[in-house]
Amino acid sequence: MSKTRLATAALPAAAAALVSLLLLSTAAPAEDLQSKVDAKEATLSKVRERKGVLTTTITRYRKRIESLTGEIAALRSHESRVRVRLNAKQAELDRAVADLKVAKRHLAVVRARLERALVALRERLVAIYEAGTPDMLSVIVSADGYDELIDRAEYLNRIEGLDESVVARVRQLRDQVKRTVARLRSTKNRIEAARNAIGAEQQALAEARAAVQSRQAALVTARQGREAALGRINTVERHMEGSLAKIQARIAAQLQSTTSAPLPAGPIRYGSGQLIWPVDGPVVSGFGMRWGRLHAGIDIAVPAGTPIRAAAAGSVVLLESEASSGGYGNFTCLDHGGGLQTCYAHQSSFAVSSGQSISQGQVIGYVGCTGHCFGDHLHFEVRVNGAPTDPLGYL
């Protein structure tokens, strides 16, 4: 009798020990996966810190690009102004060359006239020297009568007038030659100044072009640096988030497999908002910018085949297969009235049809990994008047 009692008393202890062993055996893999999740999250945190640093670098690149763009625009404007001045100096040089040609032709004509005037003056001086210079007294004494006197006096005055005319013409031509020579010198000086100005403008133009090319090369380098930085950070973050989603899905699957008798759809998970959770699991990727574009919903990690509940009552307004959804896999959208809609992506299969009326909590499909995804999960969206909104504000 005492042995029976001892055996009976020992049974609960043995059962408790057995249960403990079973719990330890099932919890160990989950804890191991959770440690991996913790490690991945720590690494992802460091990656995001690095992302902050790279974002600052990218911001510097953007500001540098904007600065270089402004400098290039200024240099191109300067180059345009230099071209205008260069064309003006070239036109001035062309006019100066034309004036020089005209002045040279005019100088040749004036010199020829001066030469002829000098010859005439020289001949007249020789004639006066050989004949002697007549005076008015000798003209009067040698005249035979009054009429001859008048004629001789008039003749003498005409000779004196011609002599003075020749001398005046020589002086006039000499002064004209001086003015022409001065004008030629001025024209030559203007041409020389124009040539020097054109040379300076050409040098300025060459320097402006070289500066533009240098700035453009720097701009290309900055852009390449920005693209490389973005590519590195996007690749790392995408890889880390994908690995984290896979591990979370494995945890959910393992926990699901160790449950003795789960309900087909599990208990409804209520939050503080107007919607219920479509599945009960951890959020492994939130709403917002991801990989350079908007992640329009949240990703909830649960095992494949987990039933998906309608977040609110409504009707099925969109039912697309993996072939036509463009990356969403098997995709369902419900309209709840008042501009509010919810959408469910990556389903393994549907449980409703298009146009069907749905009650809150009704199973509409099953979790899977159709379309573009890294592991079994539900992508859940909330849209207000068609615009994506953070679902956590409604759950």
Least confident of 141-145, 171-175, 183-187: 141-145
pLDDT, average across residues 317-340: 91
Percent residues over pLDDT 90 in the chain? 23
Q: Give CA–CA dist 73/339, Å, rounded.
A: 48
* Position 179 confidence tier, pLDDT thresholds 50, 70, 90: confident
pLDDT attached to residue 347: 95
* Position 104 confidence tier, pLDDT thresholds 50, 70, 90: confident
- Is residue 207 within a helix (H) or strand (E), and if so which, with residue range? helix 146-258
Between 163 and 307, name the one with better pLDDT: 307
pLDDT attached to residue 96: 75
Q: Give CA–CA dist 308/276, Å, rounded.
A: 11
Between 312 and 325, name the one with better pLDDT: 312
* Position 264 confidence tier, pLDDT thresholds 50, 70, 90: low
Cβ atoms of 262 and 303 closer than 8 Å:
no
The amino acid occupying position 335 is D
pLDDT attached to residue 139: 54
With CA atoms as reference, report the closest residue to 348 among 333, 336, 360, 332. Answer: 332
Q: Give CA–CA dist 62/222, Å, rounded.
A: 8
The CA–CA distances, whole Å, from 296 to 65, 76, 102, 344 equal 30, 43, 81, 12
What letter would DSSP give residue 27? H
Report strand pairing: 307-309 vs 363-367.
antiparallel
Q: Give CA–CA dist 165/148, Å, rounded.
A: 25
pLDDT attached to residue 360: 94
Between 308 and 190, name the one with better pLDDT: 308
Least confident of 58-67, 108-117, 147-156, 274-283: 147-156
* Residue 383 scores a pLDDT above 80: yes
Q: Give CA–CA dist 222/286, Å, rounded.
A: 32
pLDDT, average across residues 368-395: 90
* Residue 4 scores a pLDDT above 50: no
pLDDT attached to residue 91: 82
Q: Give CA–CA dist 80/371, Å, rounded.
A: 55
* Residue 177 scores a pLDDT above 90: no
- For 157-170, what is each residue's pLDDT tens digit? 666 666 667 667 66
* Position 308 confidence tier, pLDDT thresholds 50, 70, 90: very high
Q: Give CA–CA dist 27/13, Å, rounded.
A: 21
Q: Which residues pair with 330 in a beta bridge?
A: 347
Highest mean pLDDT among 119-123, 258-262, 385-389: 385-389
* Position 300 confidence tier, pLDDT thresholds 50, 70, 90: very high
* Residue 12 scores a pLDDT above 50: no
Average pLDDT, the chain: 75
pTM: 0.39
Please enumerate in sequence order all residues whose Cβ is within 8 A of that of 270, keeping only pairs 6 or more positions apart, or say none: 276, 277
* Residue 344 scores a pLDDT above 90: yes
